[in-house]
A = this chain, B = another copy of it.
Amino acid sequence: MTDFCRKYGLSIPVVLAPMGGGPSTPELVAAVSNAGGLGSLAAAYSNAERIEQDIAAVRKLTSRPFAVNLFSPQAQLPLNDDVKAVSEFLRPYHERLGLKAPELPQKPIEDFDEQLDAVAKAALPIVSFTFGLLPSKATERLKAQGTYLVGTATTVDEARQLEKAGVDAVIAQGSEAGAHRGTFAVPAEEALIGTVALVPQVVDAVHVPVIASGGIMDGRGLVAALALGASAVQMGTAFLACKEAGTSAAYREALMRGREDATTLTRAFSGRMARGLSNEFVEKWNAARMEHLPYPWQNAFTQPMRRAATAAKQVGLLSLWTGQGAGMLRETTVAQLMKDLQEEMKQAWLKLKGQME
């Protein structure tokens, strides 16, 4: 076991990726922690009240440690003429779904300071974050109460910046990863480094533990990540089809058709680059050569459509985040998946042992 795993009593080096917008229910978070991994609650899209409720719900289901994940607050980029074009683009989809005309909300995202208050009040052992550095006041506050801080890097330089800012561990997010890229120091296009190349270079560059993320779906990948020098592996896609996940029925159905070469990177849904299965919305968006609004505006603007499409099972209009391990996805329960991962690790290890000794 690695030091990181020992510290949190993990019997398997698995950290649940915080999957906002549905999948990471308190049930999923607790189930991963109960099965010997580290659950992560996705709090970035929640207001303070919701965060408190979710933390309480997880605590009802497990007495083991879990993390809460926030987005580093983003500079609010100014809106421009693209609003009208995006609104026009969304209109037919709103009509199809029986929604009123698209309207840009006043407040595209929850208030970070209120989220931080809720998280600090809960005195969680671990807080992870993505999309940048935390404001230094937030770092100080959380560290003062003994919270273990985990930042997300997609390049070596980002990992160094995070270490300098005081994080206790770094997630190295490889290009295979599903959903949002955590890139903050360069354009996201320049930070698509594969896990097998990124992890050892980050391990060599920082002194804190490195958690590998991106494309890892089974015990072979877990052993490989440890060999690369990682202290644990953050897995998201692998849990998407678990019974305990809040993944919608339409999303699940699409996922089961996923393949390694079926994902694409797009900013169409949120304004930030993210990896998911391509579908009607992404294809039409690309074909129209649309310019997205800056995050979080684009995210807020497309949210009513995505919500309604989820309810109506219109899979062509959903964000179908998934990583390049898509073809290895399993429909199962968390307990079974974790048991299988353990067994696969053992098998991969025994095979390796036969080759190495």
Contacts and interface: CB of A to CB of B under 8 A. Distances in A.
B261 A190 contact: yes
A90 to B, nearest CB: 26
A227 B190 CA distance: 29
Given A2-B355, A175-B175, A259-B156, A196 B221 contact: yes
Interface string A64-106: 0000000000000000000000000000000000000000000
A176 B193 CA distance: 7
Contact of A228 (B186, B224, B323, B345): B224
A124 interface: no
Residue from the set A156, A193, A195 with the largest chain B CB neighbour count within 10 Å: A193
Contacts of A61: none
B198 A324 contact: yes
Contacts of A323: 197
Contact of A260 (B198, B218, B328): B198
Interface in A29-50: none
A221 B200 CA distance: 8
A196 B176 contact: yes
Interface stretch (A209-217, A240-248, A291-299, A302-310): A209-217
B193 A260 contact: yes
B200 A176 contact: no
A355 B224 contact: no
Interface string A1-44: 11000000000000000000000000000000000000000000
Given A156-B261, A223-B352, A196 B196 contact: yes
Contacts of A208: none
Nearest to A346: B356
15 contacts: A2-B355, A174-B194, A175-B192, A186-B261, A190-B261, A191-B261, A195-B197, A197-B324, A198-B260, A200-B218, A201-B328, A204-B328, A223-B224, A227-B348, A345-B356
Question: 9 tightest CB-CB pairs across the interface, nearest first?
Answer: A197-B215, A194-B194, A176-B194, A197-B324, A224-B224, A223-B227, A224-B227, A195-B196, A176-B197
